[in-house]
Amino acid sequence: MSKEKMMADQIAERIGGLTNTSKVYNCMTRVRIDLNDPSQVDVEALKAIDGVLGVVEDGNNLQIIVGPGASTKVATALNDLRGVSHTEQIQENLDPELTQSNDVSQRAASNKADFKAKQKDNGFKRFTRIIASIFVPLIPAFVGAGIIGGIASIIQNLITSGNISAENWGQILLVLKIIQSGLFAYLNIYVGINAAKVFGATEGLGGVVAGVIYLTGMAPEAPLMNIFSGQPLSPGQGGIIGVIFAVYLLSIVEKWLRKVIPNSLDIIVTPTIALLITGLITIFLIMPLAGVISTSLVGTVNKVLEVGGAVAGFILGATFLPLVMFGLHQILTPVHIEMISSTGATNLLPILAMAGAGQVGAAIALWIKARKNQQLASMIKGALPVGILGIGEPLIYAVTLPLGRPFITACLGGGVGGAVIGALGNIGATAIGPSGVALIPLIANGRWLGYVFGLLAAYAGGFVLTYLFGVPHEATLATELHGSSSNLDVNEMLNNL
């Protein structure tokens, strides 16, 4: 029997049997199980299974972290036991650090899972998970289209400055812009489909409702009017925020209709009435209101950055890591997208990216001062490369957060970098997804050098503050690589903060 099948047998035994499952599927690193009765799960016994790196309880959804590759095999084995021939996979990587096969991956995943398991669930956290579920599948598209758009901008600038000729490069520029627009021109529809999946509506209907916001077919000389202002409605007004509201409304209407419409008429009546009701409300109510919200939100953020400058940058850069730690940073994703849609770039993302850079500086300081602690040094060596590339979870959960003080000095280091970005001003990113060094190709309008200055300032700030004030005495004690180390368990970690 393979290891994955053995794990499946043990998991089934510890979750109250297969009759306690309504659905088993997987993402890149986790086996996800929808439970009928979560109280039957023995979480501690699950964690003790060989190969299980952590367990996250999320209401009726149980997430068992087993790592890339193994998640697919274990989920398939569980479904084989359930008599289900197809295992659904979602392309979501909540544990990017597990792509690195070293000790720090397991330590970070375990600490992260334990920490999140101790958090109390509430409506706001559930909302952030919904936002994450809608946008995470689109992040690769944002990155790819954003980089292509950045290359197109460089070519456009070179043509404008006369360094290259439009005759030779014009067609290349056109092709790149066409590829880029494949995402951004129809972004509402992609978001609508994902939102429908999350809210439990028909995905195709979600895409259609999102497409309504483009007001396709409306003649400019005979526009529909905003019932509040009396001004013509603009195609795309309300943007992503309007799409999410509209598809949520669609899910409510569709679920209600399916309860009252006879099965024989459902395929015809339900989608027709659902689209008609939701479409009318979207055009005449959601679009005007969401338009005000999105415009005000983008304007407020840009105004704060413009007026606040270095102070605003410091506060945002210093407070972003705690948001990441509690998983609340996903709430900012629609804000970034609205800023990109409205102005061509998000000036917020480069500042927030400084938080991860502060961690890199803090980790280097720890590495130097605690070099006798071989186990801690090993953790840092494993986490630093991905931290520099903008993947911060290994440094958070395996290095700085368990030690307490380095986490605080890392946050302050991020604030230093944020202050530099804020002081320079007008440094934005054309897409969301990466941070750290990986964000450099996405910096808009050739302002990448200012972003690099911010990174270096955050590295230096995190390093100096941690070196002087952030290294606990126990972290400097000599340990063997596999001996007891100064890395604290999760309970001690929480007490230190």
Residues catalogued as catalytic: 27
Question: 285-309 burial by CB neighbour count: b if 16+ within 10 A, else e?
Answer: bbbbbbbebbeebbeebbebbeeeb
Alpha helices, H only, 213-353: 239-260, 263-281, 287-325, 333-343, 348-352
**What's the rounded Cα separation, in Å, for the pair 497 and 430?**
35
- Cα dist. 203→1, 191, 193, 251, 492 in Å? 39, 10, 5, 10, 45
Strand order in the sheet with 54-58: 21-26, 30-35, 61-65, 54-58
Residues sharing a CB contact under 8 Å with residue 402, sequence separation 6 or more, in sequence order: 111, 487, 488, 489, 490, 492, 493, 496
Amino acid at 89: Q
Provide the residue type at 445 as one letter. Answer: N
Cβ–Cβ contacts within 10 Å for residue 230, how many? 7
Alpha-carbon distance of 64 to 474, in angstroms, equals: 32
H-helix segments, 234-286:
239-260, 263-281
CA angle, residues 188, 189, 194, in degrees to nearest 5: 100
Helix-helix angle 374-388:103-118, to 10 degrees: 80
User: Smallest Cα–Cα separation from 330: which of 132, 174, 106, 116?
Assistant: 132
Residue partners of 346: CB distance under 8 A and separation at least 6: 335, 336, 337, 339, 340, 428, 429, 432
Distances (CA, A) of 467 to 170, 361, 362, 393: 52, 9, 7, 21
Per DSSP, the three-state class of 119 is coil
d(CA 363, CA 130): 32
